[in-house]
Amino acid sequence: MKKKTMANSKSPSFLIPTIVVVLQLSCSGGEGGVKGGYWVPDGGREVSDIDPTYFTHLLCAFADLDNTTNQVTISSSNAPSFSTFTQTLQQKNPSVKTLLSIGGGQSQPKDFAAMASQASTRKAFIDSSIQVARNNNFHGLDLDWEYPSNDTEKTNLGLLLKEWRDAISEESTKSGNPALLLTAAVSGSDQISLLEYYPVQEIADNLDWVNVMTYDLFTPGGYPNLTQPPAPLENPQGQFSGDEGVTKWIKLGLPSSHIALGLPFYGYSWHLLNGEDHGLFSPSNGASSGDGTIGYADIRQFISDEAAQTVYNATFVTDYCYSGTTWIGYDDTQSVTAKINYAIHNQLLGYFAWQIGDDDHSWTLSKTVYNSLISLDASVGMNVITFEASTFTLNADAPQLSTFTQTVQQRNPSAKTLLCIGGTVSNAETLSAMARQARTRKSFIDSSMKLARSNNFHGLDLHLEPPFTASDKANYASLITEMREAVDSESRTSRKPRLLFVATVHSPHYYSSKYPVREMSKCFDWVKIFAYNFYTPNLNPTTTAPPAALYALKNSSNQISGDAVISDWIRAGLPEKKIVMGLPSHGYVWRLQNANNHGLFAPANGGNGSIGYSQITAFIRQNRASTAFDPDVVTDYCYSGTTWIGYDDVQSVSKKVAYAKKRNMRGYSFSNAAADDNGLLCQT
């Protein structure tokens, strides 16, 4: 984060550059919710028919392993769709990430075992995989080796993953491109393949996450005599289940934040011996036809055509339907919703679907899991710091914390680093309880200072959601007053420079009246005010809008804007010189109803959430998108086809910096410097 001081002189001085590490007060894992899905060429949908707005990551399956050269190849029949996969999807969702999956259930495990057995063949595989991914514009690679089956293969897979990660990092450094993602599809249960033959430590160290295949646990081929739940989340009979598989992976040492839960968009059909006996575990004699596999769209068609009865079983977390002697076990909306809740409760990274072509024409399952995972987005990305409700102390477990300041100052010795505590996903009830008593406030304050000093930070940034009651507001005032006194006292005792003490407030929806402004003015060195996220596709799905408007639209009923928020705080008593204006390094994506109507407030059908500035500039280049600047509200936007993005580009940022100078504010800062495009915004 970079801030500039706004002085009254014509040549303003500059505030010391400040970098903030944001740590959340919670106990969740992960680095961002994964809403993934595999696509296969023969899966019932063309790439152009995919609606990627329901996904954060889409995996293109499969590239092949040539058992002669040990190189990754794409078949001639798949080459046309694979080469345009990313471009086609990003026209509809510029923020979606694509991965090329290698292998699959139809590949030969012995070929992967042979490739991984020698350094030279591993190198051939790794180098070719990176080249194929880059040549076809994928953002990552996914390994689907089904399955390593002994200790030797386990060891060799560990070597492969480490060397692969090293090669990806080296390629990124040389090319200047973002490092490729690296993931793997792995067995979801000992029922499928023994988990003990996976090198868990190497997986945790080198993969961004793993897709745990918690399905195909019970099929007509393996269990022909009784109907079964193909992908049960729970199994009170003590047999295999999704929970059993996930729990074992975690016990083996894989962090929950590395796990994406597998969801089948298909089921299996059994042939009942007696149409009147149609429950779970009813007598049957194998599959209704073939191996029994049937996609979700065909299941819904069967239910409609045959007036089939449907049942949800909450004990096993499975759905089934039946008509005559045909019985189908599958996952419908109730099952997948329960599984997403399980993922949230167990702090998993997200989910992936196999395979998205099996969803129905309305994308029923994809919509269900996507909407359910909105709450998962609010619970991930917070494993760096935990807030212990029993003691109200802070603890950090991220190794990068201890080296953060040193790493930053190697490039800029004058930079100051701050540890940000809290965030929009913090537990408000826990924080309220902490601020209620002097004893618990002291525990929080002492541990926060200790954490900052032990990790060489220069200050603390308190990012707590506003109090909502009069007593909460008073307790918050006590907290910051006592915290400032403690910071001053610690400096005198330790004879070290005083820790900076600042605050971040989230003002689009919570105004200054919620805060003890007088105490904030006295205690904080500055207050950063979020001046963005006023309009989003979730809040305003029917029309495009300026996410971070500086000024409200004239004659509009909605007067929310950066100027309105800043003015509100100043009227409440916060001095201009204490205000740092928060600027966004991200925008929001809407889907236009009509590509020819593409201005501000054009009709839209929702959107796909936020997108970083560097991704926006890439979208503009790749799609030759048109760009526009609106000087009245001060916003930029771009559009291509039915994709419309509202954001701040250099023109908007320049206007806002000038606004901050004119109002004699302390400076400005960006929400996430990592989302910038090679410092283009930060250098404005």
Are the C-beta atoms of 24 and 381 separated by less than 8 Å?
A: yes
Catalytic pick from 31, 46, 146, 485?
146
Give one DSSP letter per residue of 187-214, joined into a string.
Answer: ES-TTTS-GGGS-HHHHHHH-SEEEEE-
Q: Whole-angstrom Cα distance, residue 24 to residue 449?
A: 16
Torsion angle in degrees (nearest 10) through CA of 301, 302, 305, 308: -130
- Structure tokens of 630? 């609106």
- Show Cβ contacts of residue 96 under 8 Å, excluding neighbours closer than 6 positions: 52, 55, 56, 57, 58, 89, 90, 608
Query: Residue ranges of the alpha helices (H) in 74-150?
Result: 79-83, 85-90, 109-115, 119-135
HEC letters along 532-585: CCCCCCCCCCCECCCCCCCCCCCCCCCCCCHHHHHHHHHHHCCCHHHEEEEECC
Q: Whole-angstrom Cα distance, residue 402 to residue 396?
A: 10
Q: Whole-angstrom Cα distance, residue 373 to residue 368?
A: 9
Q: Whole-angstrom Cα distance, residue 229 to residue 187?
A: 18
Q: Does a cis peptide bond (omega within 30 degrees of 0) precede residue 62?
A: yes
Give, to the nearest 10 degrees, the angle between helix 119-135 and helix 151-175.
50
Residue 598 CA: distances (Å) to CA of 78, 394, 603, 604, 642: 35, 48, 8, 9, 8
Q: Whole-angstrom Cα distance, residue 589 to residue 193?
A: 41
Q: Does a cis peptide bond (omega within 30 degrees of 0) precede residue 355?
A: yes
Q: Whole-angstrom Cα distance, residue 331 to residue 499?
A: 54
For residue 606, the one-letter residue type is: G
CA–chain centroid gap for 7, Å, is 39
CB-neighbour burial class of residue 457 (10 A; exposed 0-12, middle 13-18, buried 19+)? buried
**Three-state SS at 129:** helix
CA neighbor of 392 nearest in space, from 432, 349, 337, 352: 432
Residue matched to tokens 């992976």:
249
Q: Whole-angstrom Cα distance, residue 588 to residue 613?
A: 10
Q: Whole-angstrom Cα distance, residue 521 to residue 78?
A: 62
Length of the chain equals: 684
Residue matched to tokens 């490729």:
180
CA neighbor of 215 nearest in space, from 110, 298, 105: 105
- Structure tokens of 417? 């680093």
Is position 146 annotated as part of the catalytic site? yes
Q: Does a cis peptide bond (omega within 30 degrees of 0) precede residue 147?
A: yes
Residue 337 CB: number of other CB atoms within 10 A? 16
Residue 498 CA: distances (Å) to CA of 453, 488, 495, 506: 11, 6, 8, 26
For residue 354, the one-letter residue type is: W
Q: Kindly tell me the sign of the dihedral angle through the C-alpha atoms of 323, 328, 334, 338.
A: positive
CA–chain centroid gap for 252, Å, is 24
Could you give the residue numbers annotated as active site?
A: 146
